[in-house]
Amino acid sequence: KQEVTQIPAALSVPEGENLVLNCSFTDSAIYNLQWFRQDPGKGLTSLLLIQSSQREQTSGRLNASLDKSSGRSTLYIAASQPGDSATYLCAVPLMDSSYKLIFGSGTRLLVRP
Amino acid sequence: DVKVTQSSRYLVKRTGEKVFLECVQDMDHENMFWYRQDPGLGLRLIYFSYDVKMKEKGDIPEGYSVSREKKERFSLILESASTNQTSMYLCASTRRRVETQYFGPGTRLLVL
Confidence of residue A95 (pLDDT cuts 50, 70, 90): confident
A98: left (phi over 0), alpha (psi -120 to 50) or beta: alpha
What digits encode the pLDDT tens for the residues B1-31? Answer: 669 999 999 999 999 999 999 999 999 999 9
Q: Are strands B107-111 and B10-13 parallel, antiparallel or unpaired?
A: parallel
Please say if the pLDDT value at position A71 is more than 70.
yes
Query: B30: nearest CA in chain A?
Result: A99
Residue of chain A nearest B89, judged by CA positions: A43
Question: Which of B45, B90, B94 is opposite residue A44, by nearest beta carbon?
Answer: B90
CB-based contact A57:A63 (threshold 8 Å): yes
- Using a 10 angstrom Cβ sphere, with 0-12 exposed, 13-18 middle and 19 or more buried, the burial of residue B8 is middle
d(CA A69, CA A37): 25
Percentages helix, strand, coil for chain B (3-state, rounded to 5) are 5, 55, 45
Report helix, strand or coil for A18.
coil
Tens digits of per-residue pLDDT, B26-76?
Answer: 999 999 999 999 988 889 999 999 999 899 999 999 999 999 999 999 999
- A46 contacts in chain B (CB < 8 Å): 100-103
* C-alpha span between B98 and B96 (Å, rounded): 5
pLDDT tens-digit readout, A7-46: 999 999 999 999 999 999 999 989 899 999 999 989 999 9
Residues B42, A105: C-beta atoms closer than 8 Å: yes
Instruction: Supply the pLDDT for residue A1.
Output: 85
Q: Does B51 touch chain A (CB under 8 A)?
A: no
Question: In whole angstroms, what is the distance from residue A24 CA to residue A71 CA?
Answer: 5
Q: Report the percentage of chain A scoring pLDDT > 90.
A: 85
**pLDDT of B97 above 70:** no
Q: What is the mean pLDDT of residues A98-110?
A: 91
Helix %, strand %, coil % of chain A (to 5): 5, 55, 40
| Chain A neighbors of B98, CB-CB under 8 A | 31-32, 51
In chain B, residues with a C-beta closer than 8 Å to the C-beta of A106 are: 42
Among chain B residues, the shortest Cα distance to A6 is held by B42
Contact of B34 with chain A, judged by CB distance below 8 Å, is answered with: no
Residue of chain A with shortest Cα separation from B45: A100
- Whether the CB-CB separation of A48 and A75 falls below 8 Å is answered with yes
CB pair distance less than 8 Å for A46 and B56: no
